[in-house]
Amino acid sequence: MTGVEKALQTFYSMKLSDIMPPIISMPIVTLDSPIVNVLKLLRTRHHVWVVSDRESMKLEGVIRYLDVMCILLPPETTKARLGNISAVFKSILGGAEKAADVMERNIMTIDEESTVLDALTKMRRYKVQILAIVDENNTLKGEISLRLLIDEFLRLIKVGGVQWTQHGSSSPWE
């Protein structure tokens, strides 16, 4: 088994709870947070988690960076069709005022005791790049993103001293 294969095996078996960032560093708002607060966070983040309140941290939804278009556009620019009627009301001009009005309720989640391999598999299956990490009560515990997984893999290779040279390439991978 090569160094890279060993590194990957270690990487795949890592628990998400061991590599997720501290919850204090995550973009989180409550259901009643004004849309302006959400937009301020989305200037520098790709998503914002929506929880019922800061005490329980029960996960209710997510607002993604691309959702800002629906928030800012007038409602008449959104075609109301079956399954998409709620997008009309996600506009500020359509009456949206709080995070609860614009959040996506269908959230991809994963258990905090899951492994990196579990997360990668779920991300690929559902074509998402970020998962909310929750416990059995749907309490937000953290997040795991493809970017965090890439960083962790690169850290693991560096710490393990693994040199990975891509086949067919004249330069080493760094």
Q: Please state, as a whole number, how many other Cβ atoms lie within 10 Å of the Cβ of residue 58.
A: 14
Does residue 170 belong to any structural domain of this protein? no
- Nearest-5° angle of CA 25, CA 61, CA 152? 40
Three-state secondary structure call for residue 2 = coil
Q: Give the whole-angstrom CA distance, residue 6 versus residue 152.
A: 14
- Does 169 map to a domain? no
Query: pLDDT at position 90, please?
Result: 76
Q: Let me know if residue 14 belongs to a domain.
A: yes
Angstrom distance (rounded) from CA 165 to CA 157: 12
Q: Is residue 11 part of a domain?
A: yes
How distant is the alpha carbon of residue 126 from its chain centre? 13
The predicted model scores a pTM of 0.82
Residue type present at position 63: I
Q: What is the DSSP letter of 22?
A: P
Q: DSSP labels for 98-141?
A: BHHHH-BS---EEETT-BHHHHHHHHHHHT-SEEEEE-TT-BEE
CATH number at residue 59: 3.10.580.10
Residue 25 structural domain: 3-162
pLDDT tens, residue order, the chain (174 aa): 677 788 889 999 999 999 999 999 999 999 999 999 999 999 999 999 999 999 999 999 999 998 888 888 887 665 555 455 455 567 777 788 999 999 999 999 999 899 999 999 999 999 999 999 999 999 999 999 999 999 999 888 887 665 555 444 444 444
Assess if residue 22 is contained within a domain: yes
In a domain, 171, yes or no: no
- Domains identified in the chain, total number: 1
Q: Compute and round to an integer the Cα radius of gyration of the chain.
A: 19
- Decide if 174 is inside a domain: no
Q: Is residue 117 part of a domain?
A: yes
